[in-house]
Structure 1
Amino acid sequence: MDAYGRAVNDHFAFCLTIGTTPETARPDIVAAWIGDMHQRPNPNGGAGLANSTIQVRIVGVRPFYDFLVEGGIRERNPVRRGQSSRRGGRPKQGLVRRVEKAPWIPNEHVWDRILRACEQEPVRNRLMVTFAYDGALRREELVSLEPGDLEPAWSLIHLRAETTKSKRAREVSFGTTSAQLLVAYLRQRGERFGRVDGALFLSESRRNRGDQLGPSSWSKIVTGIATRAEAPQLSTHTFRHLRLTDLARAGWSIDEIAQYAGHRDLSTTLKYIHLSGRELAAKLHKATCSLHADRERRLAALVEAW
């Protein structure tokens, strides 16, 4: 609702600037507003607001005009909707084409910097990093873990349905490093808080000492790591992206990766997997090697005929 309100306020401000009102705004006014958003200074530097921001503002303003139409104040909504293809026809694009960028994952050099920055973190934070990577965990899934969700004998993490985005329980694994950090953290946790029930990761701040660590706190931890590692693109989701990509590099099928990630739609899984050009070239060479050999064998007959 806040995002919708900001979108409508931004549109109102633009209409006021050019001396018109939403009640009389034509499609060309909406187009001019969108053009202004593409040109105005970006808070993060450069010109133009982010594509996702513009999309949100258009989506926020469109129902406002629907409201005016339903109330009889306007005859038509000037904010055009996109339409899927019908009866084999071409789909109708919306006012702004959606730009889908591949999520960023670090190369090996940057990943080493990130790990070196993590070495300065306390045991709890280091364990959160390794769990986030090993289990490809979302931010909310990570901070919602409880000691009872872990099965150390089998190196498994049981994710409860109520803590996952898809509301479907699943199991993921963790490695040797996570197991060692887990032992150290549970010992430290018991010494400091004297109990093992409740959330696994507890806050150590004076304001809410002993409470469950929240998602925003985990985001702040990762931001600090990103700053020290000089990797500003690092986010809490980066560990998940990297893990799923590594599973693809290891030869996992798309269905197996989707199950591990907890995705309902395989198209979502594909967005998370980023094989480099070198890896794709190697896979292509391996896939076409036998075909190429067969082509060469057949072409050799031309030499014999000569």
Structure 2
Amino acid sequence: MQVSSRHIDTWLTLQSNLGRAPNTIAAYSFALRDYQQFCSDQNTCVDIASREQVSQYVRNLLNRRVSKSKGISSSLFANATIRQRITVVRLFYDYLIEEGLRTTNPVRRGNQFNNRNRRDIRAIVPIQHKMPWIPNEEEWQRLLAEAQGMSLRNRLMLTLAYDGGLRREELCLLNTKDIDPSHRLLHIRAETTKAKRDRIVPYSASTGQLLLDYLRYRRRLTSARGAIFISESSRNIGMPITFWAWSKVIRSLGNAAGLPRFSTHTLRHLCLTDLARSGWDLHEIATFAGHRNTSTTLIYIHLSGRELATKLAVASSVHGLRLEDISESLQ
């Protein structure tokens, strides 16, 4: 097991040196330590594990329940979680092959084509394409009612996350220098984004007033420039808010509203869906969201039901005219 640990540590250090985000490194480490523990329980070394061990690990993940601090949850691991774990294991074995420590990778790749008959090779864990969850109008009003009792900072973060369609990292890492109040614009820096691309997003006048009120309040906590959103607790006062602290706020809000599926990403999903409902062009939404590929943006077009609703209206019109024609002809 010591040899496996050394190779895992070396690979994680390599990924860190290549500039992978800290959250990515943490996810890699968690996945590999979990796989290493499974192999240890099977009396197998990670370095020499076979496809049989990998298949057993997949089965283990498919049957495993999500652990909670107060016991065992009734929910199984999400498809995306399982795929992420397996992808990390595959990348690690690619590294072992490159270093001459293995000759084959026990985790096969999916979405490839056989050169002879062009058949698709099925992924080891098939992708499940699920629409993101967003609250309906009644659920949204419940969330807003609960949010009224939140602190000024949290209310602004909630508003800005929706108004700008911001990811958790983009929101929490906003800096005072990223604000252009004269034009009501936010500069989303490349290093805080998933696609590593700068973008500029506008915010509304109501959000601007809330932002102005918060910045006045913030000056009473600290005069230092830097992170916009800072801790208000006596222990860490003036320190930048962490991702986990914001996630905890959102989780508490969702639970209070009776909506445990509400997450930090829900506000972004809702924003982009609302833009699609409002008739924004696909490429306009992609630019606003910072998507590299418009196929990602299409999710929100589909979720809005805009295209289907338009086609249904046309179909209903044609159907109605045909019925009138039949009625007139047969009477």
Q: TM-score range by the shorter chain?
A: 0.7 to 0.9
Deviation of 1:92 after TM superposition, in Å, equals: 0.4
Aligned partners of 2:224 and 2:92: how far apart in 1?
A: 51
Alignment-derived partner of residue 174 in structure 1: 203
Alignment-derived partner of residue 147 in structure 1: 176
Alignment-derived partner of residue 128 in structure 1: 157
**Does the CA-based 8 Å contact 2:114-2:121 persist in structure 1?**
no
1:219 and 2:247 aligned: yes
1:109 and 2:138 aligned: yes
Please show how residues 238-249 of structure 1 align to structure 2 within 5 Å: 238-249=266-277
CA 1:136–1:276: 2 relative to 1, 3 Å: closer
Deviation of 1:47 after TM superposition, in Å, equals: 6.8
CA 1:26–1:140: 2 relative to 1, 3 Å: closer
Deviation of 1:180 after TM superposition, in Å, equals: 2.5
Aligned partners of 1:120 and 1:58: how far apart in 2?
A: 42
Deviation of 1:258 after TM superposition, in Å, equals: 0.5
SS where residue 129 of structure 2 aligns? coil
CA 1:14–1:99: 2 relative to 1, 3 Å: farther
**Does the CA-based 8 Å contact 2:276-2:304 persist in structure 1?**
no
Aligned partners of 1:144 and 1:3: how far apart in 2?
A: 24
**Does the CA-based 8 Å contact 2:36-2:46 persist in structure 1?**
no
SS where residue 178 of structure 1 aligns? helix
Please show how residues 5-154 of structure 1 align to structure 2 within 5 Å: 5-16=32-43, 27-43=51-67, 45-46=73-74, 48-62=76-90, 76-86=104-114, 89-154=118-183
Aligned partners of 1:198 and 1:110: how far apart in 2?
A: 35
Alignment-derived partner of residue 303 in structure 1: 329
**Does the CA-based 8 Å contact 1:7-1:60 persist in structure 2?**
no
Deviation of 1:272 after TM superposition, in Å, equals: 4.2
**Does the CA-based 8 Å contact 1:130-1:177 persist in structure 2?**
no
SS where residue 275 of structure 1 aligns? helix
Match of 1:234 among 223, 248, 262: 262
SS where residue 186 of structure 2 aligns? strand
Aligned partners of 2:182 and 2:101: how far apart in 1?
A: 67
Match of 1:253 among 264, 268, 281: 281
The code of the aligned residue for 2:282 comes to I
Deviation of 1:74 after TM superposition, in Å, equals: 6.9
**Does the CA-based 8 Å contact 1:241-1:273 persist in structure 2?**
no
Aligned partners of 1:23 and 1:163: how far apart in 2?
A: 35
CA 1:266–1:190: 2 relative to 1, 3 Å: same
Aligned partners of 1:155 and 1:68: how far apart in 2?
A: 50
**Does the CA-based 8 Å contact 1:12-1:22 persist in structure 2?**
yes
Considering Cα pairs closer than 8 Å and 6+ residues apart, tell me whether 1 or 2 has the greater RCO: 1
**Does the CA-based 8 Å contact 1:82-1:95 persist in structure 2?**
yes
TM norm structure 1:
0.81
Deviation of 1:290 after TM superposition, in Å, equals: 5.4
Alignment-derived partner of residue 3 in structure 1: 30
Alignment-derived partner of residue 186 in structure 2: 157
Deviation of 1:91 after TM superposition, in Å, equals: 0.7
Q: What stretches of structure 2 of length at least 5 have no aligned partner? A: 1-27
**Does the CA-based 8 Å contact 2:114-2:120 persist in structure 1?**
yes
Aligned-residue RMSD, C-alpha: 3.3
Residue identity (%):
42
CA 1:302–1:14: 2 relative to 1, 3 Å: farther
Q: What stretches of structure 1 of length at least 5 have no aligned partner? A: none
The code of the aligned residue for 1:79 comes to V
- Alignment coverage as a number of residue pairs: 299
Q: Deviations over 1:97-124 (max 9, x none)?
A: 1223222211111111111111111111
Aligned partners of 2:92 and 2:169: how far apart in 1?
A: 33
Deviates more, 1:234-243 or 1:216-225: 216-225
TM norm structure 2:
0.76
